[in-house]
Amino acid sequence: MSTALAIRHVAFEDLGSFAPILRHRGFNVHYRDAGLDDFSARDLIDADLLVVLGGPIGVNEARVYPFLTQEIRLIERRLAAHRPVLGICLGAQLMAKALGARVYKGKKKELGWGGLALSPAGEVSPLAALDRAAVLHWHGDTFDLPKGATLLASNGAYPHQAFAWHRHGLALQFHVEVTAHGVERWLIGHTLEIALTRGVDVAALRRATRRHAPALEERAPRLLRAWLDQVGL
């Protein structure tokens, strides 16, 4: 069986709707936890698929969270070896950093459900499954587009929302893996961030999740299947 390893930075930001798709495709799915597991371990380098999930820390906080240096190096090695990497939110920012791009604070925190504008390349990529769908944005940092990367999606707040690195790297600044049920854990785990973000509250996020999550739960697996087909997994 193929192996999919997911790097998890907080317990409640997991693979969500992606987990059953991976298992149905024949993957053994396992998590590695930031701050606890060794990111230089051989199994992370050799895994058929690496998924780097989101989290509340920043790429540039390696002095406080030293595992970030190992994590960036792991992503760099896998991408250089043409081994598939999927990065989500913090994972996308770590991919950008591993590819030599600048990661920095954005002008405005993006927290809540919203749309995307697919680039011409995005329209013929696995992201075509997201056409006119709302996704969950939850970040305050952003990144420059790495040299040689292909921009797949933007929106009015951030011009770099998704990029492809050749055929084997996909970086998504937003969350497509979330489920309506799973977001309830986010509303608890990120309670302080929600309270400190102007114009955002738990009730509003819950209403938006009820409105948008069902469609995303149908579209996100289509995106993942198309990308796995693309990379031959």
Strands 85-88 and 49-52: parallel
pLDDT at 18 over 90: yes
Nearest to 51 by CA among 9, 12, 80: 9
Residue 32 has pLDDT above 90, yes or no: yes
pLDDT at 164 over 90: yes
Q: Is there a contact between 170 and 79 (Cβ–Cβ < 8 Å)?
A: no
**pLDDT in the model for residue 195:** 94
Backbone angles phi, psi at 109, to 5 degrees: -65, 140
Averaged pLDDT, 130-152: 97
Quote the CA–CA distance of 201 and 158 in Å, as a whole number.
22
**Helical segments of the chain, H only:** 18-24, 42-46, 67-80, 90-98, 120-123, 180-189, 191-196, 202-231
What mean pLDDT do residues 16-41 have?
97
* Residue 115 binned pLDDT confidence (cut-offs 50, 70, 90): very high
> What is the rounded CA–CA span in Å between residue 192 and residue 189?
8
Where exactly are the structural domains of the chain? 2-231
Query: Which of 150, 157, 89, 95 lies closest to 123, judged by CA?
Result: 150
Q: pLDDT band at residue 169, thresholds of 50, 70 and 90?
A: very high
Please compute the mean of the pLDDT values over residues 193-217 and round it to a whole number: 96
Compute the average pLDDT of residues 181-193: 96
pLDDT class of 166 with cuts at 50, 70, 90 = very high
In the DSSP assignment, the letter for residue 223 is H
Gap between the Cα atoms of 125 and 118, Å rounded: 9
Residue 95, amino acid: M
Over residues 205-212, the mean pLDDT reads: 97
Q: If you average pLDDT over residues 148-176, what whole number do you get?
A: 97
Query: Residue 163: pLDDT above 90?
Result: yes
Q: What share of the chain in percent tops pLDDT 90?
A: 99
> How far is the C-alpha of 54 from the C-alpha of 45, rounded, in Å?
19
> What's the mean pLDDT in 12-40?
97
Question: So what's the architecture of 2-231 in CATH?
Answer: 3-Layer(aba) Sandwich (3.40)
- Tokens 């799973």 belong to 182
Say yes or no to pLDDT of 1 above 90: no
Structure tokens given for 22: 């991976």
